[in-house]
Amino acid sequence: MLVTIEGIDGSGKSSLVASLCESLADLCPVFTREPGSTWIGDQVRRAIAEEIDPIAEALLFVADHAAHLSEVVRPALARGELVISDRYSDSRFAYQMVTLRGAVPDPLAWLREVHDGWTVAPDLTFLLVLPVHEALSRRSRSGGQEHFEQEEVLGLVQKNYLDLASAEPSRFVVVDALKEEAEIHRFVAGEIRRAAESSRSNRRR
């Protein structure tokens, strides 16, 4: 089963994933992330830092995704393991839909087409949602800001995420990221545990 965690910068994804690592250890999940599970991720980070051409940047994220799938995600799923990814394709649909404005005629259609036929869709996606100003103030408290981290950009990214979630309500679970960290963690861990157990019992049938 493939579970993904999504949200704008500063939404608390990283601390959530860190706490899931501990509390779900008995399920032996494979924890992974985009960008950065392969060496291509280093080039993506360089692209982000240097603010390169938006199409080149988008294709680097896609290249990282392809390598992530073949090196980490598909082998783990084939072994019947639970995979939990900190960011995945919805990050592209939410962020690159903004960065590709004006660069390609219909960014979402372009992005969908680039992924079509080879990507692996997540079974369950948690989307952490909070007011953009709160996300930005969390980020400034924790240090540096990257080039996507501007109020206008993050506002559009979050709107894209919410549109994706309403288009696929059976896959997305929208989580109020303003809640206490421990409460969010308990809820998400419980949902993953439940989904993993039902996926295991379905496979046994």
Residue closer to ligand TYD by CB (options 51, 176) is: 51
Taking the least distance from each CB to ligand TYD, the nearer of 92 and 185 is 92
Minimal distance in Å, beta carbon 81 to ligand TYD? 21
96 contacts: CB under 8 Å, gap ≥ 6: 54, 57, 58, 61, 107, 111
Residue 23, CA distances (Å) to 118, 125, 170 in order = 32, 18, 25
Separation CA 59–CA 138 (nearest Å): 29
- Interface positions with ligand TYD (CB under 6 A): 9, 13-14, 34-35, 48, 61, 87, 91-92, 95-96, 146, 148
Nearer to ligand TYD, 10 or 29 (CB): 10
Residue number with CB closer to ligand TYD (77 or 153): 153
Taking the C-alpha atoms of residue 20 and residue 16, their distance in angstroms, rounded to an integer, is 6
The least CB distance from residue 104 to ligand TYD, in Å, is 15
Written as six digits, the tokens of 192 are 């993953």
Instruction: Provide, rounded to whole angstroms, the least separation between the CB of residue 68 and ligand TYD.
Output: 9
Residue whose CB is less far from ligand TYD, 63 or 189 = 63
Q: Whole-number minimum distance, CB 130 to ligand TYD, in Å?
A: 13
**Nearest approach, Cβ of 172 to ligand TYD (angstroms)?**
17
Residue closer to ligand TYD by CB (options 34, 165) is 34
Report the residue closest to ligand TYD, judged by CB.
95
Query: CB of 166: closest distance to ligand TYD in angstroms?
Result: 20
Alpha carbon distance, N-terminus to C-terminus of the chain: 16
Rounded to whole angstroms, the Cα distance separating 36 from 29 reads 18
